[in-house]
A and B are shown apart, each in its own frame.
Chain A
Amino acid sequence: MKNIKHIFKKELKSYFVSPIAYIVISVFLLIIGWLFYSTFFLDRQANLTRFFSILPVAFAFVVPAVTMRLFSEEINIGSYEILLTMPVTFRDIIVGKFLAAVGFIGIMLIPTLFYAVTTTFLGKLDWGPVIGGYLGAILLGATFSAIGLLASSVTRNQVVAFIIGMAVCLALTLLIDFMLFFLPNFLVGIFQYLSANYHFQNIAKGVIDLRDILYFVSVSFVVLYGTNLIMQGKK
């Protein structure tokens, strides 16, 4: 447990000593702020629905950029060997790195609370969907982080890790939603259940259903376990 904390601290800190953290956060805020506010005043509605509806796609691009270095960089420069020969288990390493990525995403989301606060000046904001939306955002960010971490563990090339992670995250948000249109009726339910976007939008409505939470938790767990198997296989 202690080692998880040490690895978490080290990873989170190392985000902020390199420029990558600031670049990722700025790009994220710029794009999401622009997409959100460009129609905000046309909609004439004091809510964050639009913000949360574009968040999964934004995350599909941003989260793999956050996680791509976690293993690839270490494998590439060789510090992976140092990491593995220290008295830590695979579980310590994976969970520590995973939590660091989730923590980073949490920090990245803090400035967006500004949208909620400013919206209250314009009208009566319903906080239920906002709280649900942020809870969903953390769950979604965690699931995408797990996917990004797995992608990072299979290659020494950060660009490859980013592309794999992005492709899988996009498939879970956009691709499945588009596919639903072409699917026979009896398959729609199953594929809808696989969609991260579907579960996220449920939570973002302010309805916190255990099934949606279970989806994010179980996908994250399975993917992190897969990362463990990949590390095991490298030995």
Chain B
Amino acid sequence: MIKIENLTKYYGDLKAVDSVSFEIQKGEILGLLGPNGAGKTTIYRILTGYLSPTSGSIKVKDFNIQNNLIEIKKLIGYLPEAAPIYQDMLVFDYLNYVADIRGVDKEKKLAHLRELADLCSLNEVMHFSINELSKGYRQRVGIAHALMGDPEILVLDEPTAGLDPNQIVETRDIIRRIGKEKTIVFSTHILSEAEATCDRVVIIDRGKKVADDTVENLRKSLKLESFEKIFLALTKGKGH
């Protein structure tokens, strides 16, 4: 579904992503993990067309980000970290606008908006302005934004960061529910969450890929019991 090859991104002199390659199969839930500043967000931003890579390529289905960026954007629903959205818009107006941009059919639009409001439990806040919402609600608006128009692929950058335990459970439920039909790439710092939800994990450290396997296989190959220790072993002790 998604094929990333030798992806490299420089910010000035800083190498944020260093020839990273991995693939994501259709229907898979992939956890992209790594310490802060490892380059996860940069990879998402390149994948979603916000940034362009210094070198390397990304293919989504048969589309290439160099030539068919619009087609790729149509296939991907993206939740950026901390879901920055228009402050002075009503939730309904915002989602309606996103539906228009993503080309949702006029007749189906209202039903689709209702469906997403139900799924993300947004019904009570549809007529609130976004800057009045709590962080949890804002995150859910972001998830509804990502799901708009039923994209085949979801890219979720730390969807549970900064939420309270109840909201984390709710968000995780939403991801699991939608994960049955979709290809999902997401990142999190809660390793138990990654272990419970992901089919496979890719671990990035300082721009380089250090692991790409199921948690079970990583356990066997590193002979470590807890995923936390595996994560530390892979990303620590190299001069942090």
Contacts and interface: CB of A to CB of B under 8 A. Distances in A.
A79 B145 CA distance: 12
B80 A81 contact: yes
B216 interface: no
B25 interface: no
Contacts of A190: none
A213 to B, nearest CB: 33
A86 B84 contact: no
B50 A87 contact: no
A86 B75 CA distance: 10
B101 A79 contact: no
B10 interface: no
Interface in B56-80: 70, 73-74, 76, 78, 80
A89 interface: yes
Nearest to A89: B70
Interface string A1-37: 0110011001001100110000000000000000000
B176 interface: no
Nearest to A7: B101
A85 B79 CA distance: 10
Contacts of A77: 84, 86-87
Contacts of B160: none
A111 interface: no
Nearest to A88: B101
B88 A17 contact: yes
Contacts of B78: 82, 85
A86 B102 contact: yes
Interface string A69-100: 00000000111011011111100000000000
Interface residues of B, number: 27
Contacts of B82: 78
A217 to B, nearest CB: 27
A82 B101 contact: no
B52 A86 contact: no
Contacts of A14: 86, 88-89
A91 to B, nearest CB: 11
B126 to A, nearest CB: 16
A124 interface: no
A235 interface: yes
Contact of B98 (A86, A89, A235): A86
Nearest to A74: B86
B74 A87 contact: yes
B51 interface: yes
Nearest to A13: B93
B35 interface: no
A85 B88 contact: no
B76 to A, nearest CB: 8
A235 B35 CA distance: 24
A6 B101 contact: yes
Nearest to B47: A85
Nearest to B48: A85
B84 A84 contact: no
A81 B84 contact: yes
Contacts of A6: 97, 100-101
B179 to A, nearest CB: 20
Given A6-B97, A78-B80, A81-B50, A87 B103 contact: yes
A84 B82 CA distance: 16
Interface in B172-204: none
26 contacts: A2-B100, A3-B101, A6-B101, A7-B101, A13-B93, A14-B89, A17-B89, A78-B80, A78-B82, A78-B84, A79-B84, A79-B85, A81-B45, A81-B50, A81-B80, A82-B80, A85-B48, A85-B73, A86-B102, A87-B73, A87-B74, A88-B70, A88-B73, A88-B101, A89-B70, A235-B51
Interface of A: 2-3, 6-7, 10, 13-14, 17-18, 77-79, 81-82, 84-89, 235
| 4 nearest A-B pairs in the assembled complex, by CB-CB distance | A78-B84, A85-B48, A87-B73, A6-B100
Given A86-B73, A87-B102, 6 more contacts: A2-B100, A13-B93, A81-B45, A82-B85, A85-B78, A85-B80
